[in-house]
């Protein structure tokens, strides 16, 4: 710790409110010499040789005491010379401080440029990555649109196929679960029961449909070679209006 030359109070080492005289090398509180903390920081940053009032007065008093035997004109002349030398010294100090400040400023600017270049590189990489991601998103959108179109076309084809499949087909339901074996004889019996003869040449395919767990009745899928035969059978069925039960066949 140090003692303030002005107020004689202690000055803590970590205190920012302190300044050192370049002549007497004594510390003083900034507030005791009318200096703000910002002023002290500027003096320290610029490495200015700050002098306390006591040292300045002693310096001038020494000059006056040395020249007491001289004439007033010589005294003034010597004072002017000392003043000029002091100003010159201060100017040199100021120039040196400005050089140091300019050097530090140049280093700071160079460091800023380096950081900017680094950030620019990072931004360029990020922009390229974003562009690549946008391209991928656009490709996915295009692929999604194409898949939708393909799906729509397939759905249309499936719908057409289903229509073609069922155009010549009927499903006979309500058949007793005890009926087994080849359903062709049962199909022909149904035709005879409604006075519509069904022969082998009229039939394209037939088979038992899978039985649902919730349904105890069987079903037969029957596809005619010609659509007209299917329509005639259905028409005959409607016209006859027989109270026909499949399980009785």
What does the pLDDT look like over 129-156, one tens digit per residue? 888 888 888 888 998 899 899 889 988 8
Does residue 109 sit within a domain? no
104 pLDDT band, cuts 50/70/90, is confident
Q: What is the pLDDT of residue 201?
A: 93
Q: Which residues contact 195 (CB under 8 A, 6 or more apart)?
A: 236, 240
pLDDT at 54 over 90: no
Q: What is the mean pLDDT of the segment spanning 56-72?
A: 61
What does the pLDDT look like over 220-248, one tens digit per residue? 999 999 989 999 998 888 877 655 555 44
Please indicate whether residue 80 or residue 139 has the higher confidence score (pLDDT).
Answer: 139
Does residue 119 sit within a domain? no
* Least confidently predicted of 25-29, 60-64, 105-109, 110-114: 60-64
Does residue 97 sit within a domain? no
Quick one: what percent of the chain has pLDDT higher than 90? 10
71 pLDDT band, cuts 50/70/90, is low
> End of a domain among 18, 37, 61?
61
Q: What is the pLDDT of residue 78?
A: 67
111 pLDDT band, cuts 50/70/90, is confident
Tokens of 165: 């499949």
CATH number of the structural domain spanning residue 197 = 3.30.70
pLDDT at 66 over 70: no
Does residue 115 sit within a domain? no
Does residue 52 sit within a domain? yes
Q: What is the dihedral of CA 27, 32, 34, 36, to 10 degrees?
A: 70
How many domains does the chain contain in total? 2
pTM of the entire predicted model:
0.37
CATH number of the structural domain spanning residue 33 = 3.30.40.10
> End of a domain among 11, 40, 61?
61
H or E element: which one contains 134?
Answer: helix 72-167
Q: What is the pLDDT of residue 62?
A: 60
Cα–Cα distance for residue pair 18/25, rounded to 1 Å: 12
Q: What is the pLDDT of residue 68?
A: 52
DSSP state of 16: S
Does residue 113 sit within a domain? no
> End of a domain among 61, 84, 108?
61
Does residue 126 sit within a domain? no
Does residue 102 sit within a domain? no
Q: What is the pLDDT of residue 248?
A: 45
Query: What is the rounded average pLDDT for all residues in the chain?
Result: 81
- Provide the residue range defining the domain that includes 39: 2-61
Conformational region of residue 27, where left means phi above 0, alpha means psi within -120 to 50, and beta covers everything else = beta
């Amino acid at each position: 710790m140090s003692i303030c030359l002005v107020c004689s109070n202690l000055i803590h080492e970590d205190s920012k409110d302190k300044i050192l005289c370049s002549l007497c090398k004594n510390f003083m509180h900034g507030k005791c010499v009318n200096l703000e903390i910002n002023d002290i920081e500027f003096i320290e940053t610029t490495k200015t040789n700050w002098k306390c009032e006591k040292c300045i007065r002693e310096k001038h008093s020494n000059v006056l005491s040395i020249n007491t035997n001289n004439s007033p004109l010589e005294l003034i002349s010597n004072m002017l010379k000392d003043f000029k030398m002091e100003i010159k010294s201060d100017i040199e100090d100021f120039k040196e401080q400005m050089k140091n400040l300019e050097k530090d400023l140049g280093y700071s600017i160079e460091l800023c440029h380096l950081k900017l270049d680094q950030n620019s590189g990072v931004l360029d990489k990020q922009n390229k990555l974003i562009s690549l991601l946008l391209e991928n998103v656009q490709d996915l959108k295009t692929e999604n649109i194409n898949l939708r179109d393909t799906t729509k076309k397939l759905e249309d084809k499936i719908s057409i196929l289903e229509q073609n499949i069922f155009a010549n087909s009927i499903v006979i339901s309500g058949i007793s679960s005890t009926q087994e074996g080849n359903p062709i004889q049962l199909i022909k019996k149904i035709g005879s029961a409604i006075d519509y003869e069904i022969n082998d040449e009229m039939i394209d395919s037939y088979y038992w449909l899978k039985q649902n767990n919730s349904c105890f009745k069987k079903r037969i899928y029957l596809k005619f070679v010609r659509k007209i035969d299917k329509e005639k059978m259905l028409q005959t069925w409607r016209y006859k209006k027989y109270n026909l039960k499949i399980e009785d066949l």
